[in-house]
């Protein structure tokens, strides 16, 4: 089970808010992290992030199974 965060800043091109595992090497600055909690999968974490932001996406590096182009 991993702890997930969502980037409170949208990505410049896609306007997605990326979901990350808290150990990802590509985390946003702490001030731009919103903790989502512990989940069994990135799919559960992305669903939780959608409660805050309608446009969410998994990080290419740490949540690739939930990353869409």
Question: Can you give the residue ranges of every domain in the chain?
Answer: 2-66
Could you state, in chain order, the average pLDDT of each consecutive group of 10 residues for the chain (69 residues)?
98 94 97 98 98 96 92
What is the per-residue pLDDT for 31?
A: 98
Task: Look at the chain and count its residues.
Answer: 69
What is the per-residue pLDDT for 25?
A: 98
What is the per-residue pLDDT for 22?
A: 97
What Å distances lie between residue 9 and 32, 38, 67, CA to CA?
A: 6, 21, 17
What is the per-residue pLDDT for 37?
A: 98
Distance CA 45, CA 56 (A): 10
Distance CA 25, CA 22 (A): 9
What is the per-residue pLDDT for 16?
A: 95
What is the per-residue pLDDT for 68?
A: 87
């Amino acid at each position: 089970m991993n702890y997930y965060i969502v980037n409170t800043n949208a990505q410049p091109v896609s306007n997605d808010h990326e979901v990350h595992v808290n150990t990802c090497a590509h985390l946003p600055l702490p001030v731009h992290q919103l903790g989502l909690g512990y989940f069994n999968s990135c799919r559960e974490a992305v669903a939780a992030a959608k409660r805050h932001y309608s446009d969410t996406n998994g990080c290419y590096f740490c949540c690739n199974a939930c990353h869409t182009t």
